Structure 1
Amino acid sequence: MYAVGGGRSSMFLTLLAFIVGSVIGAAHFDFWVNQMPSLPPISLAEITPLGYLGGWLIQMAIFGGIIALTLYIERKKNPPKMAALPTTQGWVRIFRGAWPLWVGALLLAALNALTLLVRGQPWGVTSAFALWGSKAAMALGVDVTQWVYWQGPRAEGLYQSVFLDTTSVLNFGVITGAFLASAAGGLFVLKKIPLKTAAASIIGGLLMGYGARLAFGCNVGAYFSGIASFSVHGWVWAVMALAGTYVALYLRPLFGLSIPKQTDSSC
């Protein structure tokens, strides 16, 4: 979402493909969720006698283990230091320049808690894509109301404005905020998309849209908010996402994309 608002040209293709993949996932929702074998929901807050405190302690122990393992690997690999991101000083830094990581982390946590308070559910992104795509499909004559995914409370969204859907409004806000930030920094520049990059964007978008609908969210709704709500499925998502990313690194050259190096910036 922020990449679209930031002007990364290929992300527009990815977003459109993501929406299409979400609609296909919604159409297949009944098969994967209701007809395939499944485990009951598991909450870390409910499997310990200490409740939410116990769930929090378990997650803090996992995070501590991840940090320790990361530091151990870092000392073994001796990776090069990342170059400092461009920034400025004083109050101008709020609008131009990189913020410290700890500031971003605290803001994400606080805003996620505020989102939970206002919406009554954790932050999510991809359910809006299924809604937008299904509305478009309805306009083209597809009767999506017969799909199990759109039975029950979800059906209301098909007949009302997207501006009454809180997830859609959040997504519009993310795109607008990223656009304003990139425009203020002079970074919003649309570029020509190579054919192989376009193919990778479309294929990746379709897979992400389909997978996110079946996994009840993407790295925001299923991972970030999943772990924040003590759901075990958030940790399962993280493990599978890491495995998928590892495989995808070997597929990048097929689409003319280089394999990221340790010196590359994550931005």
Structure 2
Amino acid sequence: MKQVYDKVFNRYWSPYLAMALAGILSAVYFGITGTVWAVTGEFTRLGGHLLEWCGVDISDWAYFQLIHMNGTTFTRTDGWIVWGMFIGALIMILLSNSFKIRVPRQKRRLLQGLAGGFVAGFGARLALGCNLAAFFTGVPQFSLHSWIFIAATAIGTYLGTKLVNTSWWKGKPTL
């Protein structure tokens, strides 16, 4: 039993196995719910609910009118996906005994992470979706947008890798 536990929780999985499992789970999800994955939309709805909870009137905001704020994160299928991802990731990191709160030694990493988060969030809102939906929804449906997204992601990943490997980006090493 210890060997199985170590293999599942403490070792890297084959990317082919992980992709196959994700594809199977995606097909099962489509079959059960009849809808597509919509994670970033649900995160935005959750943010909208938090704003409402703080007293902000979002009823006339165009984006929230477009995505509809019906129900709560616990009554929408997409909400269950978000909570399932969070809880599943938490369970896996706790079972693998690798949970650590880390603060980067170089404080510029905090700013880089914050800027990256804003760019990713802005891009997801601008595109009305995210990479998860583009891959797991568009590819099985042979949607042209998904294949364009794959090419653009490959180019962006290549350029991003070149950028983060520059001495300017890395900064002075802390020993």
Give the drift of 1:175.
2.0
Contact kept? 2:138, 2:146, Cα under 8 Å: yes
SS of the equivalent of 1:93 reads helix
Correspondent of 2:16 among 102, 116, 140: 102
Aligned amino acid, residue 134 of structure 1: G
1:166-216 alpha-carbon deviations (Å, 9 max, x no partner): 222212212222222222222111111342111111111111111112223
Q: CA-atom RMSD, angstroms? A: 2.5
Q: Distance in 2 between matches of 1:217 and 1:135?
A: 19
Q: 1:226 to 1:179 in 2, by over 3 A?
A: same
Q: Distance in 2 between matches of 1:235 and 1:257?
A: 35
Correspondent of 1:211 among 123, 126, 132: 123
Give the drift of 1:163.
0.9
1:150 to 2:61 alignment: no
Contact kept? 2:38, 2:129, Cα under 8 Å: yes
Q: Which runs of 5+ in 1 are unaligned?
A: 1-87, 259-267
Contact kept? 1:123, 1:225, Cα under 8 Å: yes
Q: Distance in 1 between matches of 2:109 and 2:85?
A: 24
SS of the equivalent of 1:118 reads helix
Q: 1:255 to 1:142 in 2, by over 3 A?
A: farther
Matches within 5 A, 1:157-168: 160-168=71-79
Q: Distance in 2 between matches of 1:247 and 1:218?
A: 19
1:131 to 2:42 alignment: no
With structure 1 as the length reference, what TM-score do the two structures score? 0.55
Higher RCO, Cα 8 Å, sep 6+: 1
1:6-56 alpha-carbon deviations (Å, 9 max, x no partner): xxxxxxxxxxxxxxxxxxxxxxxxxxxxxxxxxxxxxxxxxxxxxxxxxxx
Q: Distance in 1 between matches of 2:135 and 2:128?
A: 10
> Aligned pair count?
168
Contact kept? 1:95, 1:184, Cα under 8 Å: yes
Greater mean alpha carbon deviation, residues 188-197 or residues 144-153: 144-153
Contact kept? 1:124, 1:225, Cα under 8 Å: no
With structure 2 as the length reference, what TM-score do the two structures score? 0.80
Structure number with larger C-alpha Rg: 1
Q: Which runs of 5+ in 2 are unaligned?
A: none
**Could you tell me which residue of structure 2 aligns to residue 246 of structure 1?**
158
Contact kept? 1:122, 1:221, Cα under 8 Å: yes
**Could you tell me which residue of structure 2 aligns to residue 113 of structure 1?**
27
Aligned amino acid, residue 163 of structure 1: F
Correspondent of 2:109 among 194, 197, 201: 197
Q: Distance in 1 between matches of 2:16 and 2:32?
A: 24
Contact kept? 1:200, 1:255, Cα under 8 Å: no
Contact kept? 1:224, 1:234, Cα under 8 Å: no
Aligned amino acid, residue 242 of structure 1: A
Contact kept? 2:45, 2:69, Cα under 8 Å: no
Aligned amino acid, residue 28 of structure 2: L
